[in-house]
Chain A
Amino acid sequence: MDNEVHEAELEIRNSDGLHMRPAMRFVDIANGFECDIAVSNGETSVDGKSIMQVTMLAATFGTKLKVRAEGAGARAAVDALRELVEDKHFDEPTPKQ
């Protein structure tokens, strides 16, 4: 159970991208899980639990981020992050709205 690993690609769907407030919500959810969470934009991989590092990804609208969770609750963590990023798009406007 401790070796649980789960990965997913999440697409940024809100127009303003992953700026500081969305990044805070991301980090809040990530910190609710015991597993390690790494987030990568293809060039840089950062700690998904650090607000400075997540904001540093500069993920604009349409960016695809790879999220990799390892440890207890990995699948639930990735599912929760997918809901925030893709389903709720951080409760921010998308370009179509």
Chain B
Amino acid sequence: MKLVDFVCFEATIPELQRNDRDGVIAELVSSLDRAGKLGKGNCEEITAAVVSRENEASTGMGKGVAMPHVKHEAVKDVVAAIGQSSAGIDFLALDKEPVYSVILIISPVDNPDKHLQVMEAVFKHLQQAKFRKFLRMCSDSEQIHDLLIEADEDPSL
């Protein structure tokens, strides 16, 4: 699966306003909603669901990236939004370091296999130091869009 298949570029936030975990999650959920991706879903409720999932186990996997996610009936297909913070976010990451790139993923409740394929697509790139570095260097939505297109074409990125 390709990143461009599920990342909503209209919802990209090149510089997040908040620097706390729950605030950043709320920003990205609202951004997906403004892009029309959450149907009749309620932003506060979806944010609470993501935060609740995050409280069970942090998706701040280390190396400055986090991938908060939840399965929710508001979506019929997987949708994701990317947010960046140059200051760094206290995301309660496993390595206790700040997080600079956040990929929020909302998956439908009835398609666990698709959810796994999305995870695979995201981690394939996030585990590459080069991709993480380039992502952090992106200063606007267009650069993030171009990077993801390039990453989809180049498995080594």
Contact = CB atoms under 8 A, between A and B. Distances in A.
A20 B126 contact: no
Nearest to B126: A52
Interface in B44-84: 56-57, 59, 61, 67, 69
A51 B61 contact: yes
Q: Which of the listed residues B117, B119, B124, B126 has the most CB atoms from chain A within 10 Å of its own CB? A: B119
A55 B119 contact: yes
A2 to B, nearest CB: 29
Interface string A13-32: 00111111100100000000
B56 A21 contact: yes
B57 A17 contact: no
B101 to A, nearest CB: 13
Contacts, number: 47
B123 interface: yes
A15 B117 CA distance: 15
B116 interface: yes
A59 interface: yes
B112 A15 contact: yes
Interface residues of B, number: 18
B113 A21 contact: no
Bin the interface of chain A by size. 10 to 19
Contacts of A19: 112, 115-116, 119
A52 B57 contact: no
A88 B123 CA distance: 26
Given A55-B120, A56-B120, A17 B61 contact: no
B117 to A, nearest CB: 6
A61 interface: yes
Given A24-B57, A51-B61, A52-B61, A18 B123 contact: no
A60 to B, nearest CB: 5
Given A19-B116, A20-B57, A51-B61, 11 more contacts: A19-B115, A20-B67, A20-B69, A53-B127, A55-B119, A56-B123, A58-B117, A58-B120, A59-B116, A60-B112, A60-B113
Interface of B: 56-57, 59, 61, 67, 69, 94, 112-113, 115-117, 119-120, 123-124, 126-127
9 contacts: A19-B112, A20-B59, A20-B119, A52-B123, A53-B127, A58-B117, A60-B116, A61-B112, A61-B113
